[in-house]
Amino acid sequence: MRKNITIAAVVALAMTTAGCTTTGDGGMSGGMKPPSAEARALAEKLTFAENGFVQEQPMQEGGTGRDRLTQDETQKICTDVALSGKPIDDATASKVRALAKASIKYPAGGIKLGDWEKGRVLAWSGFGFRTAHKPDNHKKREPGATCYNCHQLATDRTGGTIGPSLTNYGKIRGSSDEILKYAYDMIYNPNVTFPCTNMPRFGANGVLTEQQIADVMAYLFDPKSLVNK
């Protein structure tokens, strides 16, 4: 865990000194002019325009399209960071971390590993919460966790590279309480370690249930899991 934080710090430092790089993930490049207040106001207006996105479209979690488009505080701050063309500054990073910390709920019986085989199915599945022209029906199929979109996990399938490779995760990191908590936090709300990261807040945003998180955790840590073979 300490190693991870050190790595994050080094990366952050490298980005600050490089100057002209992006904010690392999901931001404008340094050479670009941040948008004007008018542009931002028009973007908000168009996002909520009645003839743009279908504001009243019902969403799987309840609520409407408008709710999906409405930003919470973390999303607002991280949009500002993305539009600034600069890496996140220390004060903003602390604020995002604090918001993340406050959002994390731990299972009553402590962090436990579930069923790695179920976790494997979840990690691969891209189903769930998609709406637009063809809404996913959660009554017919359980929403997935989309981890493979961004990560390489077990090598029998090709994963993405937006996030680092998690192959042999448990084998390399072990399964101390410390590393289990670190991984749980990553899945629940990764902004606690990486403020304004590209990784979604699967727990805090209600995408994964407590049981699903336990199953995905097992996929990462169970010695029998294909991730560690």
Partner 1 sequence: MLKKILLAIPAAMFAVSVQAAEPSDSPYEVLTELLSKNKDDLYLNQSQQNLMIMPDDPALFTAEEGEALFKEKRGPKNVSLEGCDFGKGPGVLKGAYVEMPRYFADTDKVMTFESRLVHCMVTLQGFDKKDKQVKKRHGSGSDMMKLTTYIAMQSNGMPWNSRLDHPKEKALRDAGEVMFYRRSGPMDFNCATCHGQEGKRIRASVLPYINNPAEWTKAVSWPATRVGQNNVRSTFHRVRGCLYQMRYPNLKQGSETATALISFWTDAARGQPAILPDTKR
Provide the minimum distance between the beta carbon of 219 and ligand HEC in the complex, in angstroms, as a whole number: 7
Residue number with CB closer to ligand HEC (100 or 187): 187
Provide the minimum distance between the beta carbon of 146 and partner 1 in the complex, in angstroms, as a whole number: 8
Read off the tokens for 175. Answer: 């399964």
Amino acid found at 154: A
Residue number with CB closer to ligand HEC (197 or 228): 197
State how far the Cα of 23 lies from the Cα of 83, in Å rounded to an integer: 9
3-class SS of residue 150: helix
Read off the tokens for 35. Answer: 């948008």
Interface with partner 1 includes 62 (CB under 8 A)? no
Provide the minimum distance between the beta carbon of 221 and partner 1 in the complex, in angstroms, as a whole number: 23
Within 8 A by CB and 6+ apart from 197, the residues are 25, 190, 191
Q: Please state at what angle helix 210-221 crosses helix 116-124, rounded to 10 degrees.
A: 100
Interface with partner 1 includes 226 (CB under 8 A)? no
Question: Looking at 7-15, 55-63, 95-103, 214-222, which segment touches partner 1 (CB under 8 A)?
Answer: 55-63
Provide the minimum distance between the beta carbon of 5 and ligand HEC in the complex, in angstroms, as a whole number: 10
Determine the size of the site formed for partner 1 (CB under 8 A): 59
Interface with partner 1 includes 74 (CB under 8 A)? yes
Instruction: Report the run of H or E that residue 69 belongs to, with start and end.
Output: helix 65-69
Amino acid found at 96: V
Query: Which residues lie near ligand HEC (CB under 6 A)?
Result: 4, 25, 123, 145-147, 149-151, 162-164, 166, 183, 186-187, 194, 197-200, 202, 216
**Burial track 153-171 (b if 16+ CB lie within 10 A, e otherwise):** bbeeeebeeebeebbebbe
**Residue 11 neighbours by CB distance under 10 Å:** 13
Instruction: Report the run of H or E that residue 168 belongs to, with start and end.
Output: none
Closest among 188, 123, 120 to 150, alpha carbons compared: 123
Report yes or no: 192 and 97 within 8 Å, Cβ to Cβ: yes
Residue number with CB closer to ligand HEC (85 or 192): 192
Site string (120-159) toward partner 1, x via CB under 8 A: ------x--xxxxxx-----------x-xxx-------xx
Return residues touching partner 1 (CB under 8 A): 22, 25-29, 35-36, 38-40, 42-43, 46-47, 49, 51-55, 57, 59, 61, 64-66, 68-71, 74-75, 78-79, 82-83, 126, 129-134, 146, 148-150, 158-162, 198, 200-201, 205-207
